A and B are shown apart, each in its own frame.
Chain A
Amino acid sequence: MNTPTNLKYTKNDEWVKVDGNIGTVGITDHAQEQLSDIVYVEIVLSVGDSAKQSEACATLESVKAAAEVYLPVSGKVIEVNEALPDSPEKVNTDPYGDAWMVKLELTDQSELDGLLDAAAYEAQVQEKE
């Protein structure tokens, strides 16, 4: 399981990368492994939307499962990855890079304190198994 240390994580297998006040969101390597080959991605938020933490930002489908991706933090959507729905397999091959889903302008930095760091994320994954 690949879990970069510079990111923050949720129990639902989402990650957020914070650069100043901008957060980039996607799903973890562990999550893509569980879902297996992703065949479909739909990003359900649009640029300009104001969204809250835990709101759904995307839907993923693999052959054997479907899952919602929830925002780790609240914010205003400033960019969505328009290229991703055309190449859903990127979620499997590059979950932390090309398969980013939305970029937000954060509205409440304190929410980050409630998220998990890489070690804590991996620990709770092991516990679930």
Chain B
Amino acid sequence: MFIPHTDADREAMLRTVGVSRLEDLFKDVPAAHRFPNLNLPRGLTEMEVKAEMESLALSNETTKDLVCFLGAGAYAHYIPAAVDAILRRGEFYTAYTPYQPEISQGTLQAIFDYQSLVASLTGMEVSNASHYDGATAVAEAVSMAYANFRGKRNKVVLSPSLHPHYRATVQTYNEGTEINLAGAEISPQAGPEALLPLIDDKTALVIVQYPDFFGRIYDYTALAEATHRAGALLAISANPLSLGLLTPPGEFGADIVTGEGQSLGIPLSFGGPYLGLFATRKEYVRKMAGRLVGETIDNRGQRAYVLTLTAREQHIRREKATSNICTNQGLLALAATVYMSLLGKHGLRQVAELCYHKAHYAASQIASLPGFRLWSDAPFFHEFVVRCPQPVAEINDLLLLEGILGGYDLGQDYPELKNHMLIAVTEMNSRDDINLLVETLAEVSND
């Protein structure tokens, strides 16, 4: 309980206000509905709630208890100790949005550092201060492209190998708008060239993922060229950790790069809070939604940082705003910034390579098991799809008995991919972990 008032305080304050009881302050509330009895469990002390919550937490099996090979958009990576040490500073996590720059330079400069890192990592010119997650960042890319063409182009081509949650979010956001979403009928097996016939002069945006939902990596240069020839924009949703190793999407010619930043020092936390990355070219900066920090000077001649281009945002533009976003994911952007600073140029390459090599080791071992087959021969980063001899759910039950969290059952989202499992491998999986997975799967193929 966090209310500091003593009885004496309360009485003195009531007298100043000019009422005799606390209840008198609520006369405007209709009497019939005033002071309802809330059917909630009685309040607990800190000691009691801690015990309850610990017990609740222990009843879950976590990715520390189990060996995790589950990815599909959220990954178990190592989080350096210094990340949380910084995040737990009250000056960062209990601070408000930096609307008063004179007393928020810590937050503002950290965001500027973040924008710089994201721009650099993705090979783009500017980044905003974050969106909610990878899915909503893609949805905002759609709005941005539509606004860019002032409504004259209303087709958006979505690759079938964009994360199902992201495609679903884009669909929800565009229900009832003028925007037509194309690409649903394309086979998930197909590469980006399958999108080419869909790109025309009504297309505002083409969206692909890198690596794609199935882990595959493609050079999107030809796609970018075709998109630009048609006068449209290309958005690439990227895994930022993979960019420690892979060609950045900016080099392919992407106009917008979005992504999910959870792999950059952010815990799995059962799905959130995560981090939506959003970067673009300088020419589109005013069409980009979300907060932006810019550099300037103060009246004492010091370099300083401030929220800028705020005239685009909801608190000024209201119904003409580029988006309604207000609170974003500030503290997670800080986590990613600290993570990228600690790893830096060498460390991010190292962790990306570890993921790559371990995943390729796992893939080659599994591919040699009877009944199991790699679904695609395209190059991949740290995830790959395996065709299994039995339903994925059954295999995962067996894996669980060995203390292994198996891969994602693709049949849930792609009917043509029943019995196909999406397996992710990160630097957290040791060779022994991988061998255990392979041995257990071998027992399945022997059945």
Consider the complex of A and B and state whether they touch directly, i.e. have CB atoms less than 8 Å apart: yes
A61 and B150: CB pair below 8 A? no
Give every chain B residue within 8 A of A66 (Cβ-Cβ).
311-312, 316-317, 320
Docked pose: A75 CA to B320 CA in angstroms = 26
Tell me the chain A residues, 70-123 only, with Cβ under 8 Å from chain B. Answer: none
A63 and B311: CB pair below 8 A? yes
User: How many B residues face the partner with a CB closer than 8 A?
Assistant: 9
Docked pose: A68 CA to B357 CA in angstroms = 54
**Is A50 interfacial (CB-CB < 8 Å)?**
no
A65 and B150: CB pair below 8 A? no
Give every chain B residue within 8 A of A64 (Cβ-Cβ).
310-311, 316
Instruction: Give the shortest distance, in Å, between A127 (CB) and chain B (any CB).
Output: 23
A64-B316, A66-B317 in contact; A44/B150 too (CB < 8 A)? yes
| Of the residues B286, B311, B312, contact of A62 by C-beta under 8 Å | B311
Docked pose: A68 CA to B320 CA in angstroms = 10
Q: Which residue of A lies closest to B309 (CB)?
A: A61
B288-330 vs A, Cβ < 8 Å mask (1 yes, 0 no): 0000000000000000000001111000110010000000000
| Chain A binding surface SS class | strand
| Of the residues B310, B317, B320, contact of A63 by C-beta under 8 Å | B310
Q: Which residue of B lies closest to A59 (CB)?
A: B286
Give every chain B residue within 8 A of A65 (Cβ-Cβ).
311, 316
Give every chain A residue within 8 A of B320 (Cβ-Cβ).
66, 68
User: How many A residues face the partner with a CB closer than 8 A?
Assistant: 10
Docked pose: A63 CA to B310 CA in angstroms = 7
Give every chain A residue within 8 A of B309 (Cβ-Cβ).
61
Docked pose: A114 CA to B150 CA in angstroms = 29
Give every chain B residue within 8 A of A42 (Cβ-Cβ).
286
Docked pose: A42 CA to B316 CA in angstroms = 18
Give every chain A residue within 8 A of B317 (Cβ-Cβ).
66
Give every chain B residue within 8 A of A40 (Cβ-Cβ).
286
Docked pose: A61 CA to B317 CA in angstroms = 10
Q: Which residue of B lies closest to A44 (CB)?
A: B150
Tell me the chain A residues, 46-62 only, with Cβ under 8 Å from chain B. Answer: 61-62
Instruction: Give the shortest distance, in Å, between B298 (CB) and chain A (any CB).
Output: 15
Listed residue (A40, A42, A63) with the most chain B CB atoms within 10 angstroms of its CB: A63
Instruction: Give the shortest distance, in Å, between A63 (CB) and chain B (any CB).
Output: 7
Q: Which residue of B lies closest to A35 (CB)?
A: B311
Give every chain B residue within 8 A of A68 (Cβ-Cβ).
320
Listed residue (B309, B311, B320) with the most chain A CB atoms within 10 angstroms of its CB: B311
Q: Which residue of B lies closest to A42 (CB)?
A: B286
Q: Which residue of A lies closest to B322 (CB)?
A: A66
Listed residue (A42, A65, A68) with the most chain B CB atoms within 10 angstroms of its CB: A65
Instruction: Give the shortest distance, in Å, between B154 (CB) and chain A (any CB).
Output: 18
Docked pose: A65 CA to B313 CA in angstroms = 10
Give every chain B residue within 8 A of A44 (Cβ-Cβ).
150
Instruction: Give the shortest distance, in Å, between A80 (CB) and chain B (any CB).
Output: 16
Docked pose: A66 CA to B311 CA in angstroms = 5
Instruction: Give the shortest distance, in Å, between A50 (CB) and chain B (any CB).
Output: 15
B387-399 vs A, Cβ < 8 Å mask (1 yes, 0 no): 0000000000000
Docked pose: A63 CA to B311 CA in angstroms = 6
Q: Which residue of A lies closest to B306 (CB)?
A: A63
Q: Which residue of B lies closest to A62 (CB)?
A: B311
Q: Which residue of A lies closest to B313 (CB)?
A: A66
B195-213 vs A, Cβ < 8 Å mask (1 yes, 0 no): 0000000000000000000
Q: Which residue of B lies closest to A61 (CB)?
A: B311
Docked pose: A44 CA to B316 CA in angstroms = 21
B221-239 vs A, Cβ < 8 Å mask (1 yes, 0 no): 0000000000000000000
Pairs across A and B, CB under 8 Å, 14 listed: A40-B286, A42-B286, A61-B311, A61-B312, A62-B311, A63-B310, A64-B310, A64-B311, A64-B316, A65-B311, A65-B316, A66-B312, A66-B316, A66-B317
Given contacts A44-B150, A66-B312, 11 further A-B contacts (CB under 8 A): A40-B286, A42-B286, A61-B286, A61-B311, A61-B312, A63-B310, A63-B311, A64-B316, A65-B311, A65-B316, A66-B317
Binding site for B on A (CB under 8 A): 40, 42, 44, 61-66, 68
10 closest A-B pairs by CB: A66-B311, A61-B311, A66-B317, A65-B311, A65-B316, A66-B316, A62-B311, A64-B316, A66-B312, A40-B286
